[in-house]
Every structure is written in structure tokens, then in C-alpha cells.
């Protein structure tokens, strides 16, 4: 009789999601730590909003005719038949929190940043996932052009601190509610004679939301889009003045940029300044981050008039770019482990754990194994873990009261009393 296996098939992660594992998570931590350090230098403070929001928040702010709302949102009715959505972006959530908690009554500028997961059901590809991560920053309460320029300066600094070079800042203005309607009318007229030759989405957008045509990524449509009217040629005097002030401020700060008249971004709430930063290390899908001004967003979701400016950084793609850039650097990556404690014999375990506790309290990263092992195996594990030093504690070390401290790269060893080891290691690691 044939044997029938009762083995249960393993459950795998959902398509478009992934597990982030060590040592890769160390790079993610570095990116996030550097982001927090850079944001703090510009006096931003962290905000944390819920992953779940009312669906209306995004349909009203992002735009009913955007791909995000029409095709990509994870939306469902809960038990109370309230329509909820896993957040596809965070700017609307930040502005909702700003309104809900009456931050506008504080009479000051609010500079907020966030780090966390977002959700969109789009086709998974390199650097793009259905659960993805964003780092973002928002400034609420001022429409001054220098806010725009300062934010862009901050982003360039962040990328430089992360070791990136060769990136490009693309800049445009999409006007405002006063001048954009006339441009949209002109754009709609220009599309009537060419839309039949474009993709199905652009054919629909040409009638429902012509501005979205400029955001099309279909390669065959690009020559047609290139011949369409430029929005910067239809700005009213106030929007023109604002854009000129932003570019002049960037020039003063020494921030390089390229004017990109087709850049509109994919969300309906943007006004005036829009931008993207792209990186050649990512290939065809080269956008690292983007954003712009959204002076009417607060009113869209029931709040008071509040000018705003923000950025969303695709963390998955930023980590990819940082990893690619690191490949070009000479020398090994910095060790993540400072010390491995190798002990031999049952009598050595207790003093080894005491030393580990002391070194950890002194700020060192320490690992200790709890299974008995010979010295060769312990040192092999220390090397595999990337430890800079190993502290050896055996019968001989216990009898003399002095432990062996081994430099794992140079091979040199030094005898030290336990109380001396922390200072010795910190000084050696600082070199």
C-alpha cells in the first residue's frame, strides 16, 4: 500500500511582501538613524499615525481618478460597515492628525517626520512591494518659498550622508487652483487629437483628469507627452513669482537642480512646487523620493486653510541605492559585533557572563555562546559573526586573573585584567 504523506505545506509570505532579515536590517537601521539625525538638525519631530484610516481620507485627498485610489488601495468594510483602507501614503494621514488635534491653534510652524509601512496593490518589481516603507517629512503652516528650498537642501544632505552621489533633483511647478484650470483646459484640447494613439489609461484621463496624463509611465506614450503644452508656461504671476523665488533660493544654497516641465507627481493635492530625486544606480525605475507643496490639502479633508510642503522617500529603494553605492567603496564594511567572548570549561561560564554584562553596559556590542566549545570552534564563530575582538577565558586565564584579548583582524593578543578590558576595547575600536 502506498504511503500518504501528512506533511503540512508551509505558509509563505503574501505576494508583494517580504521578510527583512539580518544583516540586511542593519542597513535599514543605518538609513533610518541617519534620517532621524538629519531631520533633527532641521528641527523636525516624529509623528506616528495609524496604518488604518477611513477610505474617504484618501479618495478625497489623493484623488478619485488616480491609480492609487482606482486600482491600488487595500480597502475593506469592517464589522460596522465602515470603509477602511490600509494607508497607501502618509501625507494625508499627517494632515488629518494636524486637523484632528487642532495643531493649527498653536500658532507656529509644525515640522513633522514619519517612518513606517504603506500598502498598495501594484505589480511587485525591484524596489517596489505591496507592503513598502516610506520615510517622510512635512512642514505645515507656511507657504514661504524658502520652506521649499530648505526642505530640498535637507534631502540632498541626507543622501550625501548616506554615501550617495550622482543623483538628480528634478523640479517643476504645477500652479494653483487659480491658474491650473486654464492650463487643464488647454491640455484637454491638445489631447483630443492624440489621445487615440495613447494607452487606455491616458485615453480615459484625457477626459476625466488630463493632468494625470503627464504622469504616465508607458514608454510608447512619452513622445506624445513631450509635445504637450508645458504647465510652467501657464502659471499666474503669483505662482511664477513663487517658483522663481524657490529656484533663486536653491541657487543661493548651492543646491543643483534640473527643471522638468512634465513633472506633476501622481497625487491630486499637489500645488506649485513639485520635485523628484532620481538615482542612476536604480536603473529604469530610478525615483528615490518625491513630493512638493500642497497648500489646499487641509481644506480638502475638512480643515482650515493650511499651506504645506512635504516629501515621501521610498525606503526600500533608498536602501537598495545605498547598498549599490557601498559596493563601489574600498575596504570591508564596518563590523557589527565588537566582541565575542570565548570560554572553555564550566568554571569559565560565570565570569564570562559577568564580563559580557559589564561590556554591554559600557556600550559595546557583545556576543557570548552558551554551549561548551573548544577554542578553535569559538574563534571560528567569532570570525563568522564579524567580531573585531575575542576575549578568551579558560582555565589558565582564571588562574592568573588576566584574560586574553585577541584582535581578530591582526591576530595579536594582549593579557588584561577584567576591569581593564572595556576601556582598552573602546580605545581600540575608536581608532
3-state secondary structure 117-128: EEECCCCCECCE
pLDDT tens-digit readout, 255-303: 999 999 888 876 678 899 999 999 887 766 688 999 999 998 999 999 9
In Å, how far are 58, 123, 209, 224, 239 from 212, measured between CA atoms? Answer: 17, 19, 6, 14, 20
Report how far residue 412's alpha carbon sits from residue 420's, in angstroms, rounded to the nearest whole number.
17
Residue 100: the pLDDT is 96
pLDDT tens-digit readout, 311-326: 999 999 999 999 988 8
Residues of the chain with CATH 3.30.930.10: 24-179+235-327
Residue 180: the pLDDT is 85
In CATH, 337-426 is 1.10.10.10: no
Residues of the chain with CATH 3.40.50.800: 337-426
For the entire predicted model, the pTM comes to 0.83
Report how far residue 151's alpha carbon sits from residue 138's, in angstroms, rounded to the nearest whole number.
9
Report how far residue 380's alpha carbon sits from residue 378's, in angstroms, rounded to the nearest whole number.
5
Percent of the chain surpassing pLDDT 70 = 94
Question: What 3 state SS string does 377-413 have?
Answer: HHHHHHHHCCEEEEEEECHHHHHHCCEEEEECCCCCE
Residue of 263, 25, 279 whose CA lies nearest to 133: 25
Quick check: 214 and 228 in contact, CB under 8 A?
yes
Peptide bond into 221 cis (omega under 30): no
Quick check: 401 and 422 in contact, CB under 8 A?
no
pLDDT tens-digit readout, 14-69: 888 899 998 889 999 999 999 999 999 999 999 999 999 999 998 887 766 566 77
Quick check: 69 and 112 in contact, CB under 8 A?
no
Grid cell of 63 as nine digits:
484623488
pLDDT tens-digit readout, 201-229: 888 888 888 888 887 878 888 888 888 88
Listed range (133-137, 162-166, 264-268) with the worst mean pLDDT: 264-268
Q: At what angle do helices 24-41 and 315-327 cross, to 10 degrees?
A: 110
Listed range (128-142, 203-217, 374-388) with the worst mean pLDDT: 203-217
- CATH superfamily, region 24-179+235-327: Bira Bifunctional Protein; Domain 2 (3.30.930.10)
Residue 331: the pLDDT is 39
Would you mind telling me the total number of residues written for the chain in this entry?
A: 431
Q: How confident is the model at residue 2 (pLDDT cuts 50, 70, 90)?
A: low
Q: Is the pLDDT of residue 89 over 80?
A: yes
Residue of 316, 318, 300 whose CA lies nearest to 118: 316
Q: Is the pLDDT of residue 353 over 70?
A: yes
Report how far residue 76's alpha carbon sits from residue 236's, in angstroms, rounded to the nearest whole number.
42
Task: Report the chain's mean pLDDT, rounded to a whole number.
Answer: 89
Mean pLDDT of 170-190: 89
In Å, how far are 53, 109, 210, 251, 284 from 302, measured between CA atoms? Answer: 15, 20, 26, 37, 39
Residue 238: the pLDDT is 95
Residue of 132, 158, 127 whose CA lies nearest to 32: 158
Quick check: 398 and 347 in contact, CB under 8 A?
yes
Sheet with 74-77, strands from edge to edge, namely: 52-54, 83-86, 74-77
Grid cell of 167 as nine digits:
543623483
Amino acid at each position: 500500500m502506498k504511503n500518504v504523506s501528512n506533511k503540512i505545506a508551509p505558509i509563505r509570505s503574501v505576494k508583494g511582501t517580504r521578510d527583512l532579515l539580518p544583516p540586511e536590517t542593519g542597513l535599514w537601521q543605518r538609513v533610518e538613524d541617519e534620517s532621524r539625525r538629519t531631520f533633527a538638525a532641521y528641527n523636525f519631530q516624529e509623528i506616528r499615525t495609524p496604518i488604518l484610516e477611513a477610505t474617504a481620507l484618501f479618495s478625497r485627498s489623493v484623488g478619485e481618478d488616480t491609480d492609487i485610489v482606482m486600482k491600488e488601495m487595500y480597502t475593506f468594510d469592517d464589522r460596522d460597515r465602515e470603509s477602511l483602507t490600509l494607508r497607501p501614503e502618509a501625507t494625508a494621514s499627517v494632515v488629518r492628525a494636524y486637523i484632528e488635534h487642532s495643531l493649527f491653534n498653536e500658532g507656529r510652524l509644525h515640522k513633522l517626520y514619519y517612518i513606517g509601512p504603506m500598502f498598495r496593490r501594484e505589480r511587485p518589481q525591484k524596489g517596489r512591494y505591496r507592503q513598502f516603507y516610506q520615510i517622510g517629512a512635512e512642514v505645515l503652516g507656511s507657504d514661504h518659498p524658502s520652506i521649499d528650498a530648505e526642505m530640498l537642501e535637507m534631502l540632498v544632505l541626507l543622501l550625501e550622508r548616506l554615501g550617495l552621489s550622482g543623483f538628480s533633483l528634478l523640479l517643476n511647478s504645477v500652479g494653483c487652483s487659480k491658474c491650473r484650470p486654464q492650463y487643464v483646459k488647454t491640455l484637454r484640447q491638445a489631447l483630443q487629437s492624440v489621445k487615440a494613439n495613447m494607452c487606455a489609461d491616458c485615453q480615459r484621463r484625457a477626459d476625466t483628469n488630463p493632468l494625470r496624463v503627464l504622469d504616465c509611465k508607458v514608454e510608447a506614450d512619452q513622445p506624445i507627452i513631450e509635445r504637450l503644452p508645458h504647465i510652467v508656461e501657464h502659471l499666474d504671476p503669483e505662482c511664477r513669482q513663487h517658483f522663481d523665488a524657490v529656484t533663486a533660493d536653491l541657487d543661493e544654497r548651492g543646491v543643483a537642480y534640473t527643471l522638468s516641465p512634465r513633472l506633476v507627481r501622481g497625487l491630486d493635492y499637489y500645488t506649485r512646487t513639485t520635485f523628484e530625486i532620481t538615482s542612476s544606480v536604480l536603473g529604469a525605475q530610478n525615483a528615490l523620493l518625491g513630493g512638493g507643496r500642497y497648500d489646499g490639502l487641509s481644506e480638502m479633508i475638512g480643515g482650515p486653510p493650511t499651506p504645506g510642503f512635504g516629501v515621501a522617500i521610498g525606503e526600500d529603494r533608498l536602501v537598495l541605492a545605498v547598498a549599490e553605492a557601498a559596493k563601489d567603496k574600498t575596504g570591508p564594511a564596518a563590523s557589527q559585533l565588537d566582541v565575542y567572548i570565548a570560554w572553555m570549561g564550566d568554571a569559565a561560564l560565570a565570569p564570562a557572563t559577568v564580563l559580557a554584562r559589564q561590556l554591554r553596559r559600557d556600550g559595546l556590542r557583545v556576543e557570548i555562546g552558551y554551549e561548551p566549545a573548544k577554542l578553535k570552534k569559538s574563534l571560528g564563530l567569532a570570525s563568522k559573526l564579524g567580531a573585531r575582538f575575542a576575549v578568551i577565558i579558560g582555565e589558565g586565564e582564571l588562574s592568573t586573573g588576566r584574560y586574553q584579548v585577541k584582535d581578530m583582524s591582526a591576530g595579536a593578543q594582549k593579557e588584561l585584567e577584567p576591569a581593564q578590558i572595556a576601556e582598552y576595547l573602546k580605545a581600540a575600536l575608536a581608532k
